[in-house]
Amino acid sequence: MSSNQPKLTVLDSAKEFALPNWVFRYRIGILVVAHAVIFSCGYILAFALRLDFVIDANVRDRMIMSMPIVVAIELICFLQFKTLHGWWRYVTFRDLLSFVKPLFISLLIIAAFNELILSRMIPRSVLVINLMTSGIMMAAVRSSWRLLKEGLFSMVHSSEGQSRAFMISTHYESLVLANQVNSQQNSNTKIVGILSSDKSRVGSSRAGMPILGLMQDAPRLAANFDVTEIWLVAGSLPGTELAELKLLYDQYGLKTNVIPSAVDRNPGGGFIPVRQIEIEDLLQRSPVQLDNKRIKNEITGKTVMVTGAGGSIGSEICRQLLPFEPKKLILVDHRENSVFLIHNELGQIKNDNISLEPAVADILDRERITELFETHSPDFVYHAAAHKHVGLMELQPGVAIRNNIIGTKRIADIANDFGITKFVMVSTDKAVNPTSVMGCTKQIAERYCLSLGEYSKTKFVAVRFGNVLGSNGSVVPIFKKQIERGGPITITDERMTRFFMTIPEASQLVLQAGSMGEGGEIFVLDMGKQVKIVDLAKKMIELAGLPESAIEIQFMGARPGEKLYEELYFEEEAMIPTDHQKIYAATHRVLDYNDVLQCVATLESASTEGEGSIRRLLKDYIPEYDCSGTACNADKSTNETLLKIHADLRPELSGSAELASTADE
């Protein structure tokens, strides 16, 4: 379906049915008169049915005298319950039930009025029958628009160029969508039937749509029904199953399209956006289900700060936070343009109860960050600011230490000083058995936050996840550009595998873990199986509509700091289930704050030294650090320099340790 099809409006509908403008100008009055006619007819029909259509003069007089009272009460009830609607374009069973309550309330009021005021002028049985006749007539009238649109007008406006499709249904939402697609005026696609994963449903009908077969039956059924497309709702099928089905459909020339889920669609209606399958769909697991109530109880009405708010993860955390209605959302990033863009985007979708505060600030700038805390008094901090590119940080280890370790320490210390409720640090699976400087810095940042939390009123929590599809600098956009250029796709090693998750999934994990954390936990997402990078590249070539042989794949050899496979936790860290089936808590090693503080201070002083010095220190503090192929081994003079750094720092550290010992008080 074309994405630039016009959205139908009330005026479009007026033109379509050639109705004069005054009809819409006096719509409420016309609706009142129309409902009065329906209620009157229903009341007369109730008397007729009760008396077998033989109404004598006495009964007729009673009916005529009581009719204005009955109709007036019914109109008042419908107005009070705001159900005085006209025709509904996408009327559903739930919509039809909306007028059951006002009908029952009006019945009770009329019955009481009949007993107390009218001296039982109206037979009780007539009141009950009137409820049914009025309800049936209301249902018929209110369904008339959709019956016309899907019946008479769909036949009138159908075109020879309209494509035909099957809808894969795993949920009732798919059935509603199928009917909505068919009821759209000038739609380029018609859904002719449903494909299900449940064999027992085949041959039946749901929501007016026939269930023609199983999902794997599409090639056989497509020829019988002249179908060229298969539609499904994004995230309704696991990526592995979707990949197998797409391969099958492609063999028979069936195009597979995706409709955004209800969460991602504009609730205002209009045409449903349809897109082709993307790599995120093929890699997606069962979607993470948020405990919205828990998050809402924690976030609503509170002040929340997000560092790195202009980045891929930070900006998505901000988007995910908005529906929970924090009182204030502080957007912190050191890049002016990034702050502007996310502030402008969120400003267009937030409600008036949420205050957005853009803040250009570097997490290393203690005075600026302190000023933000003094001004806004945040309750929660989501710390997503970090240097994350492995290759770049290998070339500039001092920069990685200052931003990822010292920057985290600065903002964590300030959060502790102000006694905020919770501090959630965004970490990475590369912090486990690290082979890169970036991974080491995130591991030590984890240690600092968790050890500080032992003495702090603030609850410090860390969240680890894998590679994020579509984030800045991730492999997917790089592969896309390489494919657009005609190749080659460059991969470091044919054996390399990675955990993958989508940006919304990663951000939801941060929010969920933040709400669950009581301090001291490392949360990890169950990300399923690792994906081979070479398989990812082949799938992207296929999704580009090219044969695999059209794009060359070159293996360049692993670069310094890169791992062949990822790990989510150390061997000594047990994975403890939580009350969320997709999230685990990793128990971390016992940490002494004074030892961690000494480590951080030493690394800060060494951050201006040579690469060999820094790597040697990282190896000393993280025995699991595998730095083979890098300048890990320092010479004698370097070792002497490191020892001097340790000695020079001890007086400062002893003072810090004394402060730490009283922090719990």
The tens digit of pLDDT for each residue in 14-47 reads 334 444 555 456 667 777 888 888 888 888 888 8
- Separation CA 475–CA 658 (nearest Å): 46
Task: Report the run of H or E that residue 491 belongs to, with start and end.
Answer: strand 489-491
List the chain residues with pLDDT less than 70.
Answer: 1-27, 84-98, 143-161, 170-187, 205-208, 234-236, 238-240, 260-290, 466-474, 497-501, 526-531, 543-548, 550, 558-577, 588, 627-665
Enter the tokens of residue 239.
């990526």
* Per-residue confidence (pLDDT) for residue 483, from 0 to 100: 78
Spatial neighbors of 652 by CB under 8 A, at least 6 apart, are 601
Q: Kindly write down the DSSP assignment for every residue of 209-266, as one continuous string.
A: EEEEEEGGGHHHHHHHHT--EEEEETTSS-HHHHHHHHHHHHHTT-EEEEEPPTTTS-
CATH ID of 158-277, from 3.40.50.720, 2.60.40.3080, 2.40.50.140, 2.60.40.10: 3.40.50.720
Maximum Cα–Cα distance for the chain, whole Å?
Answer: 119
Alpha-carbon torsion 506, 507, 508, 513, what sign? positive
CB 158 within 8 A of CB 186: no
Q: Of the residues 246, 430, 442, 539, which is catalytic?
A: 430
- Separation CA 441–CA 448 (nearest Å): 11
Alpha-carbon torsion 533, 534, 538, 539, what sign? negative
Summarize pLDDT for 453-483 with one digit per residue, the tens: 888 999 999 988 766 665 555 677 777 788 7
Enter the tokens of residue 209.
């749509």
- Separation CA 297–CA 483 (nearest Å): 46
CA angle 311, 315, 317 (to 5 degrees): 125
Q: At what angle do helices 593-606 and 611-621 cross, to 10 degrees?
A: 170
- Separation CA 306–CA 80 (nearest Å): 44
At residue 645, the 3 state secondary structure works out as helix
Alpha-carbon torsion 282, 570, 473, 490, what sign? negative
* Per-residue confidence (pLDDT) for residue 429, from 0 to 100: 79
* Per-residue confidence (pLDDT) for residue 151, from 0 to 100: 52
The reply to whether CATH 3.40.30.20 applies to domain 292-621 is no
pTM of the model: 0.57
CB 645 within 8 A of CB 613: no
At residue 490, the 3 state secondary structure works out as strand
* Per-residue confidence (pLDDT) for residue 30, from 0 to 100: 75
The boundaries of every CATH 3.40.50.720 domain in the chain are 158-277, 292-621
Q: Which residue has the tokens 């509904």?
A: 88
- Separation CA 470–CA 478 (nearest Å): 9
Concerning whether 190 is annotated as a catalytic residue, the answer is no
* Per-residue confidence (pLDDT) for residue 332, from 0 to 100: 95
Enter the tokens of residue 463.
């969240």
- Separation CA 410–CA 75 (nearest Å): 65
Torsion of CA 601, 604, 605, 611, to 10 degrees: 130
DSSP 406: I
Spatial neighbors of 210 by CB under 8 A, at least 6 apart, are 193, 194, 204
Question: CB burial class (10 A; 0-12, 13-18, 19+) of residue 503?
Answer: buried
